[in-house]
C-alpha cells in the first residue's frame, strides 16, 4: 500500500477503546484529529510517545484537535496502560490489524535477524472533513507531538 499523504481521505475506523466503548473516525467530524499508532502498550518507546501526547492534550484541545492512540493491544492492556500513566484519552484496540493495514502501518519488521509483522510507529493529522493534513511514518517516539504542533502552529 502507498503511504497516505496530504489530501488523501483518511481510512475510517470503528474500534473499541480501553473501556470497551466504540470509537469511530466519524465521531470527530468537524474537528481535527491526531491519530498515532504504536506497537505495544507499556513498552519504553510507546510510553514516551503516549505520555508526550498526554502532556500536550490540553494544547491540542485549545487548537481544536482531539487525539487517539491505536495499537494491537486488547482493551484490558490499554486500560492498564491508561491507568498507570493517567493518559486520559482514547486508546483504541486494533487487535486484528485491519485499521493499521488501511493506514499502511502494519508491516514487516526485523529484529536480530528475525522477520515479523508489526506496527510501524506513525502518526496522522486529519482535518475536520476526514482528509489527511499530514502523515509521519516511522516517527520517533518523542517526535509525534513536536511534528504535529509544528504543522498546526504553521497553519493556524
From the list 11, 2, 17, 28, the residue with the least C-alpha distance to 100 is 11
* Residues assigned a catalytic role: 46
Distances (CA, A) of 118 to 40, 53, 74, 96, 101: 9, 21, 15, 11, 10
Cell of 49: 510517545
> How would you classify the pairing of strands 65-71 and 32-37?
parallel
Please say whether the beta carbons of 122 and 5 come within 8 A: no
Amino acid at each position: 500500500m502507498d503511504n497516505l499523504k496530504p489530501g488523501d481521505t483518511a481510512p475510517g475506523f470503528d474500534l473499541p477503546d480501553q473501556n470497551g466503548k466504540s470509537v469511530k473516525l466519524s465521531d470527530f467530524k468537524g474537528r481535527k484529529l491526531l491519530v498515532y499508532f504504536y506497537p505495544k502498550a507499556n513498552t519504553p518507546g510507546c510510553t514516551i510517545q503516549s505520555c508526550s501526547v498526554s502532556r500536550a492534550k490540553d494544547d491540542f484541545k485549545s487548537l481544536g484537535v482531539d487525539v487517539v492512540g491505536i495499537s494491537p493491544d486488547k482493551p484490558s492492556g490499554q486500560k492498564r496502560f491508561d491507568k498507570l500513566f493517567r493518559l486520559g484519552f482514547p486508546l483504541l484496540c486494533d487487535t486484528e490489524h485491519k485499521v493499521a493495514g488501511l493506514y499502511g502501518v502494519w508491516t514487516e519488521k526485523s529484529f536480530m535477524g528475525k522477520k515479523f509483522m508489526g506496527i510501524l510507529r506513525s502518526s496522522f493529522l486529519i482535518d475536520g472533513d476526514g482528509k489527511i493534513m499530514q502523515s509521519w511514518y516511522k516517527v520517533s517516539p518523542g517526535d509525534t507531538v513536536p511534528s504535529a504542533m509544528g504543522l498546526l502552529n504553521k497553519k493556524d
